[in-house]
Amino acid sequence: MSVGLVYDPIYLEHDTWQHPENAQRLVEIMGFLEEAGVKAQLVPLAPRAASQEELSTVHSMGLISYIQAFAERGGGLLDADTVVSPASYDAALYAAGGVIKAVDGVMSGEVESAFALVRPPGHHALRWEAMGFCLFNNIAIAAKYAINSYGLERIMIVDFDVHHGNGTQDTFYHDPSVLYFSTHQYPFYPGSGRFDETGDGLGEGYTVNVPLPGWCGDNEYLRVFEEILMPVARRFHPQLILVSAGYDGHWSDDISLMQLSVSGYAQMVGIIRKLAQELCHGRIVLTLEGGYSLPALASSVRATFDVLLGNPEIVDPLGPPPQAGTTHSIDRLLEAIKEIHKLG
C-alpha cells in the first residue's frame, strides 16, 4: 500500500520565535522519520499554494487580505497566541495547498492515504478570524475542495487534537455533506465543543462532539472510538475521511491534562484506517494540528505512518503515563452522546 507525505521547507519559514507552535516541530518530525527509515517508505507529494478562490470557500476575502497585508508589513501578534511573520502568509497558502495536494493524491489513486505535515495549523481558524495558532483552516478548505473538485457528497472529518476545532465545526455546522467528529479536553480552549452542539438546520446531527474530562488516556479514547466513532461513521458512510491529527493529548505534553500514549494514538489511527478500508476504499488524508512535546510528537507521527503503511511493530519509546487512570468516569457522557445521536 502506498502512503503519501506532503512536506516543504516553506513551512519552516512561518517564524513564531519561542512560541510552542514553532518550526522545530517539523524539524524534529522529519529528522525522526529519516532516521527511522520511515521516510524512505513514503511517496513524496509536493505541495502547491492554495488560491485565494480556494481559501474563500471557507474564509472571507477581508480576512485573507488582512493576513496578507499584516505579513507584508512585517507581522506580529494577531492575538495573544497567534503569531505572523513576514513569510507566514505564503507558508499558510502552502499549508492549505498541501492538504489539497494530499486530497488529489488520494482521490487520483496515486496513494491510498496521505499525511500533510504542514504549518501553520488550521482547525481553530474561523471565516472572519484567525486564532489559536491558526491562520487558515487547512482541513476545511481541503474538504470544500474535495466536494467541489471531485463531486463528493459525504466527507467525515475526525479531529483528535486535544483542543476543539471550533473553526471546522463552524464551517460545516449547517452542512449535511460533512460530518465533523471531535474528541477534546473540556472545558478547555477555545470553550466550544459541548456534546449538545450537534449541528443546525440541514446539518443537525452531523456534528458529533465528545468533550472529555482531564486525565483521560488510551482506554477512554479507545472506548470513544469504538462506541461512538465507529457506529457514526458506518451510518454516515463517508467517501473520504479527513483527520485533524493533533498529538497534544500525549501524557508528556504540558499543554493539556490528557494521558494518551504513542501506542494509544496508533490504535486510534488504526481504527480510522479500518473504517476507511471498510467504507471508502482506504481513502484517508491527515493534516498536522497540535503537539508540542517534541519527542512525543515525532514518535506519534512515526507511529501514525507505521499504521498507514501496515507496519506490524509500533515503537513507543516514551511508554505509558507515570500515573494512568482518570479522575472521572465517562460512562454517563457516552450514554448521553449515544442518546442524542440515536446510536442505540
Place of cell 479507545: 222
CA atoms of 294 and 279, how far apart (whole Å): 34
Q: Is 124 a catalytic residue?
A: yes
Q: CATH homologous superfamily for 3-340?
A: Histone deacetylase domain (3.40.800.20)
- According to DSSP, residue 260 is labeled B
Domain ranges of the chain: 3-340
CA 309 to chain centre: 19
In this structure, the number of other CB atoms found within 10 A of the CB of residue 315 comes to 15
CA atoms of 99 and 311, how far apart (whole Å): 24
Closest by Cα among 306, 213, 221 to 261: 221
Q: Please tell me the number of Cα atoms within 13 Å of 39 on its side-chain side.
A: 12
The C-alpha cell that represents 230 in the structure block: 465507529
CA atoms of 38 and 178, how far apart (whole Å): 32
Q: Low-confidence residues of the chain, pLDDT below 50?
A: none
Place of cell 509500533: 314
pLDDT for residue 325: 54
Contact 260, 219 (CB under 8 A): no
The C-alpha cell that represents 254 in the structure block: 504540558
Residue 37, Cβ density class (10 Å: 0-12 exposed, 13-18 middle, ≥19 buried): exposed
Select which of 124, 164, 184, 341 is catalytic: 124
CA 73 to chain centre: 30
Cα Rg, the chain, nearest whole Å: 18
**In the chain, what is the straight-line distance between the N-terminal and C-terminal CA atoms, in Å?**
35
CA 25 to chain centre: 15
Which tens digits make up the pLDDT trace of 172-230? 999 999 999 999 999 999 999 999 999 999 999 999 999 999 999 999 999 999 999 99
Torsion, Cα 338 334 303 44, to 10 degrees, reads 40
